[in-house]
Amino acid sequence: MMSVIELGEYGADFTANPYPYYAKLREAGPVHEVRMPDGFQFWLVVGHEEGRAALADPRLAKSPSVIGVRPPEEDIIGVHLLAADAPDHTRLRRLVTGEFTGRRVEGLRPRIQQLTTELADAMEPAGRADLVDAFAYPLPIIVICELLGVPAEDRDTFRRWSNQLVTPTGDQEFGQAMVDFAAYLDALIEDKRAAGPTDDLLSALITARAEDGDRLSGPELRAMAYLLLIAGHETTVNLIANTVRNLLTHPEQLAALRADPDLLDGTIEESLRYDGPVETGTFRFTREAVTIGGREIAAGQYVLVGIGALDRDPARFPDPDRFDIRRDTRGHLAFGHGIHYCLGAPLARLEGRIALRTLLDRFPDLELDPEGEPWEWLPGLLMRGVRHLPVRW
């Protein structure tokens, strides 16, 4: 019988660079029972083939109700796509997919370019900046807030809530941010109902109807807005910052990209694979006893798919610890797999490409700032990135 892995014993090195630890775990097997420092236990999948299958396995539910758990945030926010299973998930996704179209996303291109240019204009005179605060954070937050119809004056408040919800500093702070955010979204939705239809996405979701007349309820609207706002910007912040960090720490790859701009799309995809913004998926729950990677997992267990570990599996990607923007990255799982595949993947890719292209064009000598503060890595297993990225030019 294999012993439980104590993740707390890995220390701060695991937060800064988890990949060697995932590799060591993978050598011993694709699935492990692990324990957090607070005593919480779950199953962690680190093999690509096993993880890809788990992401699409209906025996692994996303709603904790299948194991008799009702998280307190469900009463506050409601049930969103990431915590729903078919047929509820199918219904919710159908109602939002009709409004979150490729045409709507592509229509954002001129505005994204305008915003990116304005941010670069504001950065340029100083010769140095924190790339997260000055560029990688404001771009996606403005884009998703404008897309949904969130007033500009509320963005800073929203950022504080979002930070607490994705990388919480404590249970009390997490709970208060959830309550405040839910109340804000309820008020915003009522304001939009009263104002009548406009061209933003939240207004479209309020009026959206399926062919059978189905529409989103008030709590469902709140939960959908919550998910789109949080997932629509936190991940893209780290996609942009991580990609720049990966290039600046691999100067030969940066030189290759500058020499051949056609490598831009490949750079974004390789960064997603090599050091993407989502380190693990959100929890899944076993409806029944399942066997994954030769390990028998009983019903009612928590399962976490290690996205970052999967995309460094040498069985799928040769020499996986090498950052190579010419690599064939097909099959990476940075946006998930199966019915929960990221709805916002086209928008994230569009923002990442425009942001990176603009930075390379405007700052030909962009480099890490040697006088900047040491990197502070985001805590927890969900998000992968640094709070600040000092650069100069």
Instruction: Determine the pLDDT at residue 85.
Output: 95
* pLDDT at site 72: 78
Report, as an integer, the average pLDDT of 176-205. 89
User: Between residues 210 and 272, which one has the greater pLDDT?
Assistant: 272
The string of pLDDT tens digits covering residues 132-183 is: 999 999 999 999 889 888 888 988 888 788 878 877 777 888 888 889 999 9
Average pLDDT, the chain: 93
What is the per-residue pLDDT for 159?
79
Q: Residue 71's pLDDT is what?
A: 83
State pTM to two decimals: 0.94
- CA distance linking residue 277 with residue 72, whole number of Å: 26
Q: Quick check: 66 pLDDT over 80?
A: yes
Mean pLDDT of 31-35: 97
Domain 5-392 has CATH 1.10.630.10: yes
Give the type of residue at 24: K
Closest CA to 36 of 72, 7, 79: 7
Identify which of 360, 354, 341, 347 has the alpha carbon closest to the alpha carbon of residue 143.
347
For 61, the enclosing helix (H) or strand (E) is strand 60-61
Dihedral of the CA atoms 214, 215, 220, 223 (nearest 10)?
A: 120
The mean pLDDT of 36-55, rounded to a whole number, is 97
The average pLDDT across 19-37 equals 97
**CA 70 – CA 61 distance, rounded (Å):** 14
Mean pLDDT, residues 382-392 taken together: 96
Band of the pLDDT at 293, cuts 50, 70, 90? very high
Residues 6+ positions from 59 with CB-CB distance below 8 Å: 286, 287, 288, 290
What is the band of 245 on the pLDDT scale with cuts at 50, 70, 90?
very high
pLDDT per position as a tens digit, 321-368: 999 999 999 999 999 999 999 999 999 999 999 999 999 999 999 999
Query: Confidence class of residue 1 from pLDDT cuts 50, 70 and 90?
Result: low
Contact 2, 33 (CB under 8 A): yes
Q: Smallest Cα–Cα separation from 146: which of 206, 181, 104, 118?
A: 104
- The pLDDT tens digits of the residues spanning 248-290 come to 999 999 999 999 999 999 999 999 999 999 999 999 999 999 9
Q: What is the mean pLDDT of residues 63-73?
A: 89
| pLDDT at site 172 | 85
Domains of the chain, by residue range, sit at: 5-392
88 or 165: which leads in pLDDT? 88
Alpha-carbon span 75 to 83, nearest angstrom: 13
